[in-house]
């Protein structure tokens, strides 16, 4: 009975439950090179697929000659749109209600578009064969600037939609128009702007970037012709949704499709969509009767799969003279590329951009978004953010700074005056969201005190004086951002993708010896689900996390779920885990009552066991109850100890945070160094602080990349000029600073354990903090806004424009 | 294409194979020898996911022909653990300090750090950062990787001192 005398504290520690800095179980295999990523998979007889891609941004495909390719030894097939037509697979539906060409059907609409699919014995032969496919093109004028998409004389991009006056999201007003989406009070906002003492206006562009996970996208399709089963392994952030979509597209019954996501080398939104490579691999496997692998290379990844952002925003913010915001209006021109392949919930073609009132109590607001087509890659994915939330947050955080300049109020002070107060939660935003919980003032105060904000501003004043006296060529900038995220999509009543409600799930089986397996509808891409979901369960059911296996990603074994993106795993699947755990505990309690011969209500839970109230020496541990569940249950009760929960969240969760960034800019070179970056995050209940800190570090580093250097640059012909890691900026260890992390804890009132999700907050808050700092460095010279990315060249140009350097 | 006979030592094991002259070392390792620890992230020698140790130097095996490795001594992530299965201090430190998330860069990163610590057993933070600048990580922000390498360096140094 030594376990009996162990303190509750000691037993809690053994569980490694909520709040523990538990080491990751995944790392044991990853540090030994024993991960199992898609390109590691090798099946007998497996062939390798590769694409012939368009060199043009916009062209007519006049002919395709595959003879020479087919003559090359080792080449098994060359598929074109004509081959897919009889199967009706040359086009596929996108997640956004549009269609996308699987293989170019008479026209190519962006550089890198899939034109033909070559299947060969190995990747070298496939690459040779790609070069041997002769495609004759007639080049057409390319449209790369979204501001020109809806000009009267703009070229028609989508011949298939030319005469359609409505699309998936309502009326279309031009042949290159995708949708118009509006939300808020147009009249009230117009009135607020008209009557305001001060109105600040700014055009803010969030440039086109790319999630660029270190592993590219890929799959292996294996059609077993004997029993008609399709098994597909791939880099899928939403394996169950892929199964349903694959069934709907291919006509293969859903029960005969098995989708498996193995280890995924980073996703960040890149691996949510369904790409032509997946469809072509399936078709090739069906045609050839053997498994077919397709893995894109880095250039293909940057050219063709999943860009993010490309939001061109015009904002107007109304305020009183003392800086109280009285209204906000925003128009967005959204460049969706050649096909609308965003992965937003169906009813939200601009995602949750309407979170753009941010952390502030703004009485009235109005937003319109026009989506347009251009000759660029499709995508518009939620790159390390909930749907369009980082665009929204960047917009409002810049607008608040622009307003602060106009009113000559300190950026931190103007935020303080407008933050939603603690007593206003749950808070109803002007654009329709109900913020679940927050204590913004405490977070801001803590952040400003920790960094010594007032002293930093004093130092900046002294530095500027020294600069004026010619004693230094550096300018100091201080950026503040206070973001509110909206994550955890989402309640089925307003969130679905292709009609699939955005719930998530967890199924738990407790084994007779007291260990367990939990299976979820999500899939980790580095977030450490196998570690953290076991922690949630450990605290709920009193089984040590070390004795709980977490399994995801196999649609034959895991319960249905919508997958991992938009910071939804903890808010939705984490909730399902807790709820399923509570079902387990409820059944265990009945068994305990039976064994102890007391009423259920006479028992109390104590970390890992039930005790009889008033007689604590009488107890049954979870281990004992697990065994009893298989041999000694109350009369009439089913044996076994299993539970499943499908969790439909009642609301989104609203993580928030206060970030401060300090930069030093050398005006003669434009070199911008981050001297200090402090990030305070409030993600509600903290499951594993070590993993949270890691997520924040990683998200901030991606924010650094976006704010300081990333932009997918197209020339006028539609050539992507930086489609390799030579030209597309990914920070190395040298450019990346040390990040300071901090936190407050405001649990979500509607989540079973109060957790809100954290993975995407640092990207959402980080970009604006860095950009605000760069703008702040020049603010005393009258600058209100410069466009990202703030690379050395652009910063130097800004300094030059302001007369700081010799022309 | 005529194939070449290539003999090399990989993780202390002699291997022989036939490969086309154009075959890259990363493909020889992954496709022919089944050594899938080193990964392909960019094909252009920028990301470092394919880093292996060749004749005492870190190389990006996506930019080395298999034929160039004829007669070479190669160490990959799979070869870092001791003969008894005990993990290398770097492998332990990466887990201890949360120096990895998705794990895709990890084999290359640890293999690079292994060589860095041979070249400089007691590197400063700045030296570590420059020493791993050829290896990209999209998840961690490097801070915990730097910490892990520093911790492993200290452990290796103190173990060496204890042995002397």
Question: Model confidence over A553-591: pLDDT tens digits?
Answer: 999 999 999 999 888 999 999 999 999 999 999 999 999
Q: How far apart are CA A519 and CA A507, in angstroms?
A: 5
Q: How far apart are CA A347 and CA A169, in angstroms?
A: 8
B111-140 residues touching A, CB cutoff 8 A: 128-130, 132-140
Same domain, A483 and A532: no
B78 touches chain A (CB under 8 A): yes
* Residues A38 and A235 sit within 8 Å (Cβ to Cβ): yes
DSSP state of A40: G
Over residues A225-247, the mean pLDDT reads 95
- Across the interface, whether the CB atoms of B100 and A30 are under 8 A apart is answered yes
- Across the interface, whether the CB atoms of A213 and B102 are under 8 A apart is answered yes
Does residue A387 sit within a domain?
yes
Over residues A198-215, the mean pLDDT reads 98
**Average per-residue pLDDT for chain A:** 96
Q: What are phi and psi of B25, to 5 degrees?
A: -60, -40
A134 touches chain B (CB under 8 A): no
Tokens of A23: 């080491």
Does residue A712 sit within a domain?
yes
Q: Which of A647, A664, A699 lies at the terminal end of a domain, its last residue?
A: A647
Same domain, A552 and A615: yes
- Across the interface, whether the CB atoms of A37 and B39 are under 8 A apart is answered yes
The total number of structural domains that make up chain A:
3
- Across the interface, whether the CB atoms of B143 and A738 are under 8 A apart is answered yes
B54-73 residues touching A, CB cutoff 8 A: none
Of A212, A217, A342, A385, which one is the catalytic site residue?
A385
DSSP state of A540: H
The SS3 assignment for B137 reads coil
Cross-strand bridge partners of residue A204: A313
The SS3 assignment for A509 reads strand
Over residues A676-685, the mean pLDDT reads 98
Quick one: CA torsion of A668, A669, A670, A675, rounded to 10 degrees? -100
Same domain, A377 and A228: no
pTM for the model: 0.97
- Return the pLDDT at A160: 96
Over residues A332-338, the mean pLDDT reads 98
DSSP string, A15-31: HT-TT--PPPSTHHHHT
* Residues A266 and A214 sit within 8 Å (Cβ to Cβ): yes
Same domain, A643 and A681: no
A155-178 residue pLDDT tens: 999 999 999 999 999 999 999 999
- Across the interface, whether the CB atoms of B40 and A39 are under 8 A apart is answered yes
- Across the interface, whether the CB atoms of B101 and A694 are under 8 A apart is answered yes
Q: What are phi and psi of A58, to 5 degrees?
A: -155, 120
| Optimal mutation site among B11, B41, B107, B140, interface A, most CBs of chain A within 10 A | B41
Distance from CA of B148 to the nearest CA of A (A): 12
B46 touches chain A (CB under 8 A): yes
Q: Is A219 a catalytic residue?
A: no
Give the strand pairing for A603-606 and A609-612: antiparallel
Over residues B75-90, the mean pLDDT reads 95
Q: Which residue of B has its CA nearest to A266?
A: B102
| Optimal mutation site among A33, A209, A736, interface B, most CBs of chain B within 10 A | A33
**CB count, 10 Å around CB of A533?**
30
Residue A789: is the preceding peptide bond cis (ω within 30°)? yes
Q: Is A760 a catalytic residue?
A: yes
Which of A33, A212, A299 minimises the CB distance to B77?
A33
- Return the pLDDT at A675: 98
Same domain, A382 and A475: yes
Does residue A696 sit within a domain?
yes
Output the CATH code of domain B89-163: 1.10.150.120
CATH number at residue A65: 3.90.1170.50
Q: How far apart are CA B42 and CA B23, in angstroms?
A: 16
* Residues A182 and A366 sit within 8 Å (Cβ to Cβ): yes
- Return the pLDDT at A148: 98
H or E element at residue A400 = helix A389-407
pLDDT-derived band at A5 (thresholds 50, 70, 90) equals: low
Same domain, A557 and A574: yes
A511 touches chain B (CB under 8 A): no
Question: In chain A, what is the greatest distance between 2 CA atoms, to the nearest angstrom?
Answer: 90
Does residue A565 sit within a domain?
yes
**CB count, 10 Å around CB of A669?**
14
Tokens of A444: 């801001």
Chain A residues near residue B63 by CB distance under 8 angstroms = none
Distance from CA of B25 to the nearest CA of A (A): 13
Q: Is A217 a catalytic residue?
A: no
Does residue A722 sit within a domain?
yes
* Residues A106 and A159 sit within 8 Å (Cβ to Cβ): yes
Q: Is A111 a catalytic residue?
A: no
Q: Which residue of B has its CA nearest to A691?
A: B98
Over residues A782-800, the mean pLDDT reads 97
Same domain, A324 and A435: yes
* Residues B59 and B51 sit within 8 Å (Cβ to Cβ): yes
Same domain, A671 and A753: yes
The SS3 assignment for A328 reads strand
Q: Is the pLDDT of residue A807 over 60?
A: no
- Across the interface, whether the CB atoms of B44 and A725 are under 8 A apart is answered yes
A739 touches chain B (CB under 8 A): yes
Kindly list the domain boundaries of chain B, sorted by start residue. 4-79, 89-163
Q: Which residue of A has its CA nearest to B126?
A: A734
* Residues A474 and A375 sit within 8 Å (Cβ to Cβ): no
A220 touches chain B (CB under 8 A): no
A41-70 residues touching B, CB cutoff 8 A: 42
| Optimal mutation site among A20, A26, A30, interface B, most CBs of chain B within 10 A | A30
Which of A42, A695, A725 minimises the CB distance to B42?
A725
H or E element at residue A718 = none
Same domain, A328 and A412: yes
How big is the A-B interface in CB pairs under 8 Å?
A: 174
Query: What b/e sequence results for A546-569 when a residue is b if at least 16 CB atoms lie within 10 Å of its CB, and e otherwise?
Result: ebbebebbbbeebbbbbbbbbbbb
Same domain, A319 and A412: yes
- Return the pLDDT at A250: 87
Over residues A472-492, the mean pLDDT reads 96
Quick one: CA torsion of A164, A169, A172, A178, rounded to 10 degrees? -90
- Across the interface, whether the CB atoms of B43 and A298 are under 8 A apart is answered yes
Distance from CA of A725 to the nearest CA of B (A): 6
Q: Which of A612, A647, A682 lies at the terminal end of a domain, its last residue?
A: A647
Distance from CA of A203 to the nearest CA of B (A): 30
Q: Which domain holds residue A56?
A: 38-140+216-264+272-289
- Across the interface, whether the CB atoms of B101 and A32 are under 8 A apart is answered no
CATH number at residue A523: 3.30.365.10
Over residues B147-160, the mean pLDDT reads 96
Of A237, A525, A695, A710, which one is the catalytic site residue?
A237
Tokens of A159: 């011949």
Same domain, A480 and A560: no
- Across the interface, whether the CB atoms of A42 and B39 are under 8 A apart is answered no
A422-465 residue pLDDT tens: 999 999 999 999 999 999 999 999 999 999 999 999 999 999 99
Q: Which residue of A has its CA nearest to B37?
A: A33
pLDDT-derived band at A4 (thresholds 50, 70, 90) equals: low
- Across the interface, whether the CB atoms of B139 and A694 are under 8 A apart is answered yes
Of A26, A300, A693, A760, which one is the catalytic site residue?
A760
Does residue A774 sit within a domain?
yes
- Return the pLDDT at A638: 97
B1-40 residues touching A, CB cutoff 8 A: 20, 22-23, 27, 30-31, 34-40
Which of B81, B103, B143 minimises the CB distance to A30?
B103
Closest-CA residue to A739 (of B145, B128, B42, B101): B145
A738 touches chain B (CB under 8 A): yes
Chain B residues near residue A697 by CB distance under 8 angstroms = 140-144
Q: In what order do the strands lie in the sheet with A615-621?
A: A603-606, A609-612, A615-621
Cross-strand bridge partners of residue A477: A663
Q: How far apart are CA A524 and CA B98, in angstroms?
A: 16
Which of B46, B78, B142 minimises the CB distance to A733?
B142
Give the strand pairing for A504-510 and A642-647: antiparallel
- Across the interface, whether the CB atoms of B100 and A27 are under 8 A apart is answered yes
Does residue A63 sit within a domain?
yes
Q: How far apart are CA A464 and CA A474, in angstroms?
A: 9
- Alpha carbon A746 to its chain's center: 22
CATH topology of domain B4-79: Ubiquitin-like (UB roll) (3.10.20)
Same domain, A284 and A429: no
pLDDT-derived band at A1 (thresholds 50, 70, 90) equals: very low
- Across the interface, whether the CB atoms of B42 and A298 are under 8 A apart is answered yes
């Amino acid at each position: 009975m030594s376990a009996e005398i162990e303190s509750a504290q000691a037993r809690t520690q053994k569980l490694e439950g909520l709040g523990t800095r538990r080491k990751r179980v995944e790392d044991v295999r990853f540090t030994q090179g024993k991960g199992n990523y898609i390109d590691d998979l090798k099946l007998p007889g497996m062939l390798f697929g590769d694409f012939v891609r368009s060199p043009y941004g916009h062209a007519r495909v006049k002919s395709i000659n595959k003879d020479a390719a087919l003559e090359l030894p080792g080449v098994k097939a060359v598929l074109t749109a004509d081959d897919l037509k009889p199967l009706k697979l040359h086009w596929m539906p996108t997640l956004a209600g549009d269609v996308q060409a699987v293989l170019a059907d008479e026209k190519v609409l962006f550089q890198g578009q899939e034109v033909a699919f070559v299947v060969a014995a190995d990747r070298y032969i496939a690459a040779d064969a790609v070069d041997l496919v002769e495609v004759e093109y007639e080049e057409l004028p390319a449209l790369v600037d979204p501001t020109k998409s809806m000009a009267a004389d703009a070229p028609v991009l989508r011949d298939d939609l030319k005469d359609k006056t409505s699309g998936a999201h309502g009326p279309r007003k031009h042949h290159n128009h995708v949708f118009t989406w509006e939300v808020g009070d147009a009249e009230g906002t117009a009135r607020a702007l008209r009557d305001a003492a001060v109105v600040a206006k700014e055009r803010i562009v969030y440039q086109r970037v790319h999630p660029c996970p270190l592993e590219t996208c890929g799959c292996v399709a294996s059609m077993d012709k004997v029993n008609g089963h399709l098994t597909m392994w791939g880099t899928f952030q939403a394996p169950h949704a892929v199964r349903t979509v694959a069934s709907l597209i291919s006509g293969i019954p859903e029960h005969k499709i098995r989708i498996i996501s193995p280890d995924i080398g980073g996703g960040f939104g890149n691996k949510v969509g369904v790409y032509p490579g997946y469809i072509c691999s399936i078709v090739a496997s069906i045609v050839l009767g053997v498994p077919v692998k397709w893995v894109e290379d880095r250039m293909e990844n940057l050219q063709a799969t999943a860009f993010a952002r490309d939001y061109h925003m015009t904002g107007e913010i109304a305020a009183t003279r003392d800086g109280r915001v009285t209204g906000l209006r925003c128009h967005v021109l959204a460049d969706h590329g050649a096909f609308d392949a965003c992965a937003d919930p169906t009813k939200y073609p601009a995602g949750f951009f309407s979170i753009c009132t941010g952390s502030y109590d703004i009485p009235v607001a109005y937003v319109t978004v026009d989506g347009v087509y251009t000759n660029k890659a499709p995508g518009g994915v939620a790159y390390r953010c909930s749907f369009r939330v980082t665009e929204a947050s960047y917009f409002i955080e810049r607008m608040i700074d622009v307003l602060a300049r106009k009113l000559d109020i300190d950026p931190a002070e103007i935020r303080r005056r407008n933050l939603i107060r603690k007593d206003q939660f749950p808070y109803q935003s002007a654009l329709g969201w109900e913020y679940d919980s927050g204590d913004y003032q405490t977070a801001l105060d803590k952040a400003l005190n920790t960094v010594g904000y007032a002293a930093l501003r004093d130092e900046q004043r002294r530095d500027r004086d020294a600069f004026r006296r010619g004693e230094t060529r550096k300018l100091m900038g201080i950026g503040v951002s206070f973001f509110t995220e909206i994550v955890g999509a989402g309640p089925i009543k307003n969130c679905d993708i292709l009609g699939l409600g955005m719930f998530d799930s967890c199924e738990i089986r407790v084994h007779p010896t007291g260990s367990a397996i939990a299976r979820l509808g999500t899939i980790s891409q580095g977030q450490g689900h196998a570690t953290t979901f076991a922690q949630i369960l450990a605290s709920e059911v009193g089984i040590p996390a070390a004795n709980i296996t977490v399994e995801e990603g196999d649609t034959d074994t895991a319960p249905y779920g919508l997958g991992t993106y938009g910071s939804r795993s903890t808010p939705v699947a984490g909730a399902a885990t807790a709820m399923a755990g509570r079902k387990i505990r409820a059944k265990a309690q009945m068994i305990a009552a039976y064994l102890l011969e007391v009423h259920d209500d006479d028992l109390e839970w104590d970390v890992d066991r039930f005790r009889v109230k008033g007689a604590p020496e009488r107890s049954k541990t979870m281990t004992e109850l697990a065994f009893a569940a298989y041999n000694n249950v109350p009369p009439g009760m089913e044996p076994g100890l299993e539970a499943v929960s499908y969790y439909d969240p009642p609301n989104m969760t609203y993580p928030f945070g206060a970030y401060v960034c300090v930069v030093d800019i050398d005006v003669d070179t434009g070199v911008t160094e981050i001297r200090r970056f402090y990030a305070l995050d409030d993600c509600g209940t903290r499951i594993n602080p070590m993993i949270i800190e890691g997520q924040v570090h990683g998200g901030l580093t991606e924010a650094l990349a976006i704010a300081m250097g990333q932009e997918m640059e197209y020339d006028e012909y539609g050539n992507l000029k930086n489609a390799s890691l030579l030209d597309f900026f990914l920070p190395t260890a040298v450019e990346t600073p040390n990040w300071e992390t901090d936190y407050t804890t405001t649990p979500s009132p509607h989540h079973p354990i109060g957790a809100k999700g954290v993975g995407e907050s640092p990207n959402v808050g980080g970009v604006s903090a860095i950009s605000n700092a760069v703008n702040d460095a020049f603010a005393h010279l009258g600058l209100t806004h410069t466009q990202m990315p703030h690379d050395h060249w652009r910063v130097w140009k800004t300094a030059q424009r302001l007369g700081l350097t010799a022309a | 294409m005529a194939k070449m006979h290539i003999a090399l030592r990989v993780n202390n094991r002699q291997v022989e194979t036939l490969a086309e002259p154009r075959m890259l070392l990363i493909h020889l390792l992954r496709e022919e020898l089944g050594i899938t620890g080193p990964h392909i992230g960019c094909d252009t020698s920028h990301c470092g996911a394919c880093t292996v140790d060749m004749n005492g130097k870190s190389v990006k095996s996506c930019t080395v022909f298999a034929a160039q490795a004829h007669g070479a001594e190669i160490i990959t992530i799979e070869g870092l653990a001791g003969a008894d299965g005990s993990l290398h201090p770097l492998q332990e430190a990466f887990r201890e300090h949360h120096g990895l998330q998705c794990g895709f860069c990890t084999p290359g990163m640890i293999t690079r750090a292994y060589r860095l610590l041979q070249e400089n057993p007691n590197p400063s933070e700045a030296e570590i950062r420059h020493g791993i600048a050829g290896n990209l990580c999209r998840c961690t922000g490097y801070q915990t990787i730097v910490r892990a390498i520093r911790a492993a360096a200290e452990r290796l140094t103190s173990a060496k001192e204890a042995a002397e």
